[in-house]
Amino acid sequence: MITKKALNKELFIREWMHTNSARDAWSKIIDEYKVLNPVGKILLPSYIGWSSNEGSGIFDSVANSGLDYEFYELGLRLEINLEDLKSKVRENETPLVLLVHYFGFVDLEYNQITNWLVDHSIFFVEDCAHAWLTDLIGGRSGRKGNYSFYSLHKLLPLSTGGAMVNNNPNFNKNIANMNPFLELNYDLFSIFNIRRSNYKYLYDLLKDVSGVEVIYENLEEGICPHTFPVIVENYDRNNLYHEMNEKGFGLVSLYHTMIEQLENDSSLASSNLSKNIINFPIHQDVKKEDMEEMVIQLKKILKV
């Protein structure tokens, strides 16, 4: 079964919370960690700044927590010495590891480092104060740690503002009430990629089906499709819509009726396409096996 739109509210969700600053976000994360690990240790990178006006955004929160801490080695270009980090992790029972994405960049061995931390169930946090867009748009950071935090005013024309995200939220909480920016609860990058993947998969299933003409054969880089539109040939579009929906496949027929000002327009879009277009769902709830069954039912109806 495929619904007309995505309904599963627990897929690809990230719990965002607005804070006054990245420092406040980091402090909140440490407090969360400290509840479960009152005598834990925080492992920090060996490159942390301080100023007389602002203090240290990273270290002040650690010092105020009262928790023990230790530094792991970074190289000349801020690269993490993974063996040193591993050694210090192994010396502590339940450490908190902080990874800092300096200046918006990620470590060249980011995947190797984070995979090792995940595989060993290490609580770790990604400091994306400089890397909010590296995370949100590029998808290169911020998703593997238990938490990530951000400095909005470092990238946007704001005087203050931070955020934190829990990548493993508790679904018993009313997340919508915690976050004034509800759409940021969702992993937009993953949804973007799944919709693109579903589009490409459905294209392969439909491209040789007689009686169906794919409108957009080439899915260009950066395009996130809403649906998969096709032109129905030699079959009544309205009948196809009802028959497919009765079988549990939520096809939609977008722009099937033109505004009255276009009722007699001679353009092909209004006079032809509007009468023959139908849209297949490719949203993030859709699975490959669902699309396969949908196309099987389509072929039966079209008798092809």
pLDDT value, residue 241: 96
Give 130-183 pLDDT, tens digit per residue. Answer: 898 889 888 899 999 999 999 988 877 778 889 999 998 876 665 555 565 655
pLDDT value, residue 9: 79
What sign does the CA torsion over 206, 211, 212, 217 have? positive
Contact between 248 and 1 under an 8 Å Cβ cutoff? The reply is yes
Contact between 195 and 280 under an 8 Å Cβ cutoff? The reply is no
Question: Is residue 208's pLDDT more than 60?
Answer: yes
Question: Is residue 103's pLDDT more than 90?
Answer: no
Percent of the chain with pLDDT over 70: 95
pLDDT value, residue 284: 93
Specify the range with the lowest mean pLDDT, choosing from 54-58, 156-160, 290-294: 156-160
pLDDT value, residue 178: 58
* Burial zone of 142 (CB within 10 Å; 0-12 exposed, 13-18 middle, 19+ buried): buried
pLDDT value, residue 223: 86
Specify the range with the lowest mean pLDDT, choosing from 49-58, 65-74, 277-286: 49-58
Give 213's pLDDT tier (boundaries 50, 70, 90): very high
Higher pLDDT, 285 or 170: 285
pLDDT value, residue 181: 61
Question: Strand ranges (DSSP E) for the chain?
Answer: 15-19, 41-45, 68-72, 96-100, 123-127, 147-151, 162-166, 212-214, 228-232, 277-280
Tally of helices (H runs) and strands (E runs) in the chain:
11, 10
Question: Is residue 45's pLDDT more than 80?
Answer: yes
For range 220-247, the mean pLDDT: 93
pLDDT value, residue 228: 92
Mean pLDDT, the chain, rounded, equals 89
Using CA atoms, how far residue 161 sits from 104, 164, 261, in Å, is 17, 11, 47
Give 187-205 pLDDT, tens digit per residue. Answer: 878 888 999 999 999 999 9
